[in-house]
Amino acid sequence: MKPFEYASPTDLNQVEPLLGNGQDAAILAGGTDLIALMKDDVLTPKRLVNVKHLPRLGAVQVVPDALQIGCLARLADIADHAFVRKSLPMLSEALDDAASPQIRNMATIGGNLLQRPRCWYYRNGFGLLALDKDGESLVRKGDNRYHAILGNDGPALFVSPSTIAPVLIAYSAKVEILGTNGKTRYISLEDLYRIPKQENEREHTIMPGEILTAVVVPGKLLPAKAATYEVRQKHAFDWPLATAAVALAMNGNTVKSARVVMGHVAPIPWISKEAEAALVGKPLNEQTAEAAGAAAVQNAKSLGQNSYKIQCARIAVKRAILIAAGLPA
């Protein structure tokens, strides 16, 4: 590991100047992923800014019309929160399934949402876009079994690694970001992510010097039916091949509105407008779920070795809908 400076601010206002332009500094929270990346020289920040001891950033609290989750809240603590268990069961389930128990007791929600891709080209030092010296994609001409099947027209072919983000997006969550001059801004969680087109771009929209401080989930107008489903190679801890989170507002047995968000299939959490359109105005039954699953992958493209993921994603969407409807999956 290369030498670095270490700073441990005691006030949130001290963070911005310590981060500087954001190019040479990194935020240390749970550290479950950052330290491993530093050991492998994938990330080499010149300064670590430890935010673990900042007040109030670890709180999970019900505020008027919303649930506010501080960026330092641990995954296990969020999953066990009474409001989450009762009112946001899809989130509780996703948190319980994320990583291993040891990681869930250390990892923070902010770190999970902003974790770097698990692409083995990136993790072995070939860069976010994994381009060779001639600018050609190592992924397209190499082993791409676990890479993107959607949003893969450009050079970014990794998959967004968070299993929590699709669920929170389905719940219409927002994130609170503290920026320059102490100004706070709120954006939809889906707008936190972007598909980079150049190697020097990041896979999120946080600007240099900014810090994600909280996740806000609306407490009103929660979906009548919601469920998440993951397809894995094994039931024990493993990275999913595809996930789907579904949130449905109902008018009797007819779908009034729908949110369908897929994970591990694209460089960003993938909102499937096609699947949503296949659900709205339809009754909840196996035929509707089958049609929505097919619609979700109608624009999917194999990179050569990952065509099986198209079927996995279709099944994930279909089964998430069936589970939300209370039907056998």
Looking at residue 77, what is its pLDDT?
Answer: 96
Looking at residue 139, what is its pLDDT?
Answer: 98
Highest mean pLDDT among 53-62, 156-165, 181-190, 236-245: 156-165
Residue 314: which of 278, 267, 268 has the closest Cα? 278
pLDDT > 80? residue 93:
yes
> For 227, how many CA atoms within 13 A lie in the half-sphere containing its CB?
18
The CATH number for 260's domain is 3.30.390.50
Residue 245 lies in a domain: yes
Residue 203 lies in a domain: no
Burial of 305 (0-12, 13-18, 19+ CB in 10 A): middle
Q: Transcribe 138-154 into DSSP letters.
A: TTTTS--TTS-SSS-SS
Helix (H, G, I), strand (E, B), or coil: what is residue 7?
strand
Average pLDDT (182-210) is 93
The tens digit of pLDDT for each residue in 265-284 reads 999 999 999 999 999 999 99
- CA 60 to each of CA 72, 126, 227, 314, 326: distance values in angstroms, whole numbers, following the listed order: 9, 38, 22, 34, 29
Which domain range does residue 238 map to? 225-325
Residue 211: which of 50, 2, 35 has the closest Cα? 50
Residue 174 lies in a domain: no
Looking at residue 22, what is its pLDDT?
Answer: 65
Mean pLDDT for the chain? 94
Looking at residue 24, what is its pLDDT?
Answer: 85
- CA 329 to each of CA 27, 179, 316: distance values in angstroms, whole numbers, following the listed order: 41, 44, 10
Residue 264 lies in a domain: yes
pLDDT > 80? residue 122:
yes
Looking at residue 263, what is its pLDDT?
Answer: 98
Residue 258 lies in a domain: yes
pLDDT > 90? residue 287:
yes
**Distance of alpha carbon 104 from alpha carbon 214, whole angstroms:** 18
Residue 296 lies in a domain: yes
The tens digit of pLDDT for each residue in 1-44 reads 889 999 999 988 888 889 887 668 999 998 889 999 999 999 99
> How does residue 236 score in pLDDT terms, banded at 50, 70 and 90?
low
Number of domains forming the structure of the chain: 2
Residue 64 lies in a domain: no
Of residues 210 and 73, more confidence is placed in 73
> What's the pTM?
0.95
Average pLDDT (310-325) is 98
pLDDT > 80? residue 158:
yes
Instruction: Please answer whether residues 95 and 104 qualify as being in contact, where contact means their C-beta atoms are separated by less than 8 angstroms.
Output: yes
Instruction: Please answer whether residues 163 and 82 qualify as being in contact, where contact means their C-beta atoms are separated by less than 8 angstroms.
Output: no
The CATH number for 49's domain is 3.30.43.10
Average pLDDT (97-104) is 88
Residue 256 lies in a domain: yes
**Distance of alpha carbon 20 from alpha carbon 36, whole angstroms:** 23
Q: Tokens in use for 45?
A: 């920040």
- Outline where DSSP puts E strands in 34-168: 47-50, 60-63, 66-70
